Amino acid sequence: MKFEKIQAPKGVREYLPPESSAFDWVRSQLIAPAVSAGYQLMELPVFEDTNLFSRGVGESTDVVSKEMYTFEDRGGRSITLRPEGTAGVMRAVIESNLDRGQLPVKVWYSGQFFRAERPQAGRYRQFYQVGIEAIGLDDPAIDAEVIAIADRGFKNLGLKNYRLEITSLGDSNSRAAHRVDLLKFIDSLTLDEATKERAQINPLRLFDDKRPEMQEAMKNAPLLLDYLSDESRANFEQVKKYLDALAISYVINPRMVRGLDYYTGTTFEFVHSDLGAQSGIGGGGRYDGLMETLGGQSLSGIGFGLGVDRALLAAVAEKSLPQDQFTSDLFIIPLGDDAMSSALVNAQLLRDAGIKTEIAFGDRSLKGAMKAADKSGAQYVVVFGDSELSSGEVNLKRMRDGVVTSVKIAQLKDVLRETLSR
């Protein structure tokens, strides 16, 4: 009986060797600045109660209304695969009482997220993000630090062709004053029923509408930046002052609203010029009121989510990926059962010392094993045979130029440590 091949679901981006090493490098470089700034890891479930996202992210967003993967579990509960990270982090902070301790709570996370979108280059139904959240203080300096951490992550990748766009979505008083005039303006437009309903829930969503006719219709709409309260305006000016001090370039985008309803105050997005339509490589902002909406204290917070998939595409476009993919330091070729036992023991000792070591498995000839060593990209190769075991010495061959050095097996670890550190 012949079985049909099972394929990965549509819209899922997989990372297989050797590309997976580039993916891993991008992810680690993006999060390294957060770790050095004192943010600690938070591992969260990939599915949550659906109410977490409908209440926290916003009913008017495309994420909630069109893109969530929602299903009923065996207990009859409505469960959703996480479409973003902030709501889950906030839920965990409230549930675990982390907000009752020292503030701000500073955490980072990474993993898969899920949205039922139309797949295309840079847009997947399962995508990868790294993110941070700083929860508990409303301080312009924290806003600047969060933005700087994201900027440093992209600089770690060697990216240059990106820009930082920032704005302020103000406080509740700012948005209330703006909403009155924005709704008056929207009432003057000819809209379909679905768009009218979205506007009634959150009129700012119309700035995020990608349809050309809607972008044209909203061209003269009143902008929230012109309605900022004195406090919000002073806060935003302070954020810009800190970014200037950090020598982080930015442009003001007064039409930015991002795709999630919980954003307030400082809001930002990183846009890469080489990625076409899917140009956003990361962004975030402040979310005053989100914790209270989810049943917690009335505490402020700010964070970001950076797209690992798109950052990798940007690094490929700019040719900034490191040339060296994963290569082992040593490739051991054992000839016979006794040699294999010795190879296994010595490989473990070498690995414990931080030396990446591979072994040639299977019943291969010496010629076949040497070909495998060459293809592996290993820097050095040794053969373990009867003569080597009896003499206690092996010939350490440097693969790039074929230079051979006689080395005692007992000293192999020290010799490799020294040569690899040069």
Where does residue 364 fall: left (phi above 0), alpha (psi -120 to 50 degrees), or beta otherwise? beta
Residue ranges covered by each domain of the chain: 19-158+281-317, 330-420
The 8-class DSSP code of residue 408 comes to E
Task: Give me the CATH code for the 330-420 domain, please.
Answer: 3.40.50.800
Question: Is 59 within 8 Å of 51 (Cβ atoms)?
Answer: no
pLDDT at position 65: 82
Question: Is 420 within 8 Å of 371 (Cβ atoms)?
Answer: no
Q: Which two tokens stand for residue 255?
A: 């039409």
For the segment 302-318, what is each residue's pLDDT rounded down to a tens digit? 999 999 999 999 999 99
Q: Where are the alpha helices (DSSP H) in 49-171?
A: 50-56, 62, 86-95, 140-156
Give the C-alpha separation, 72 to 40, whole Å.
33
pLDDT at position 260: 72
Class of CATH domain 19-158+281-317: alpha beta
pLDDT less than 70: residues of the chain: 259, 324-326
From 393, 390, 417, select the one nearest 404 (Cα to Cα).
Answer: 393
Question: Is 165 within 8 Å of 250 (Cβ atoms)?
Answer: yes
Give the C-alpha separation, 125 to 403, whole Å.
50
pTM, two decimal places: 0.89
pLDDT at position 73: 95
